[in-house]
Amino acid sequence: MDLSSLIGMLLGIIGLVTGLLVGGADILIYADLSSVFITIFGSFGALMITHPLQRILMMPQLIGIIYRGRKYEEEKLIAHLVSFSEKARRDGLLALEDDLDAIEDPFFRKGIQLVVDGTDPEIIKMILYTELNKIEERHEGNYLMFDDWGKTAPAFGMIGTLTGLIAMMRRMEDKLAIGRGMAQALLTTLYGAVLAYLFLIPFKRKLEMKSNAETLVKEILIEGVLSIQAGDNPRILEEKLYTFLPPSRRESLRDEMTKT
């Protein structure tokens, strides 16, 4: 579980609701079917014009990723790469073939497979970086979907408020009705703003960060695989990969290394 995201979401909702209760408002007045249609369905329609069906359908899965904890453990990965480097220097690159099936990450496995196959280093580099770039492009497509929706939702909120205001102003005889009409009209803007600022935009930023974290892991892997093939000194490799981590986590790496 990604605790921060979960607590954040709860805190945001609780903050809003408590604020309303403390201010003495009746929560029920904020529920409105018409606003759901205009703001949520309307902006979702605009989103579907832009993004392919396939990506739209991935949305629940992407939201799942936001609340799921990190699955990458760079420390373990570095320890793994260094042990491969030692083995390769001791027993030759072909000796790594036995460990291939034990590698879970398909990107890592592919890199070692290419090394074992004796592929040219330039081609390995090109294949792994192309793969990384394409992964980043797919991730970007995904989080920009939330960004697009986050920009469209307030616009549809405004559209709903405009339609509401126009309808209201056509019947301005009844003063009390004006207030109710205006309240109704502003509800769509409220829906758009909450949808965008409490959900969609934070979702986009979170996915962007998770994507950056994955890119870091892939960079460590590419650097490691190429060093293993080049037969670099495992100590130098460790030193290099070490720099990818924040100082606070280098301690835990040291522990990891002594375990292996």
Determine, following the binding rule CB under 8 A, whether residue 130 of this chain makes contact with its own copies. yes
Q: Residue from 62, 116, 187, 253 that binds its own copies (CB under 8 A)?
A: 187
For residue 38, what are its two tokens?
């205009």
For residue 102, what are its two tokens?
């034990």
Q: Cα(27)–Cα(39) distance, rounded to whole angstroms?
A: 19
Q: Cα(211)–Cα(138) distance, rounded to whole angstroms?
A: 10
Collect all residues with Cβ–Cβ distance below 8 Å to 111 and sequence separation of at least 6: 124, 128, 221, 222, 225
Judged by CB under 8 A, the number of residues near its own copies is: 108
* Nearest residue to 124 (alpha-carbon basis) of 14, 224, 255: 224
Pick the piece of the chain touching its own copies (CB under 8 A) from 37-45, 73-81, 83-91, 251-259: 37-45
For residue 7, what are its two tokens?
């607590």
- The residue to which tokens 């004006």 are assigned: 178
Residues between 46 and 85 with contacts to its own copies, criterion CB under 8 A = 46-53, 56, 66
Residues between 136 and 175 with contacts to its own copies, criterion CB under 8 A = 138, 141, 148, 152, 155-156, 158-160, 162-173, 175
Collect all residues with Cβ–Cβ distance below 8 Å to 147 and sequence separation of at least 6: 200, 201, 204
Q: Classify 110 as helix, strand or coil.
A: helix
Q: Which is nearer to its own copies, 64 or 179 (CB)?
A: 179
Q: Residue from 68, 209, 251, 254 that binds its own copies (CB under 8 A)?
A: 209
Q: In angstroms, give the least distance from the CB of 176 to its own copies.
A: 6
Q: In angstroms, give the least distance from the CB of 12 to its own copies.
A: 3
Q: Residue from 65, 198, 226, 257 that binds its own copies (CB under 8 A)?
A: 198
Q: Which is nearer to its own copies, 49 or 102 (CB)?
A: 49
- The residue to which tokens 């991935």 are assigned: 58
Question: By rule CB under 8 A, what string of x and - marks binding of each residue 83-122 to its own copies?
Answer: -----------------------x-------x----x---
8 A C-beta contact, residue 225 and residue 111: yes
Q: In angstroms, give the least distance from the CB of 225 to its own copies.
A: 14
Q: In angstroms, give the least distance from the CB of 235 to its own copies.
A: 10
Q: Cα(157)–Cα(192) distance, rounded to whole angstroms?
A: 5
Report phi then psi at 68, rounded to 5: -80, 145
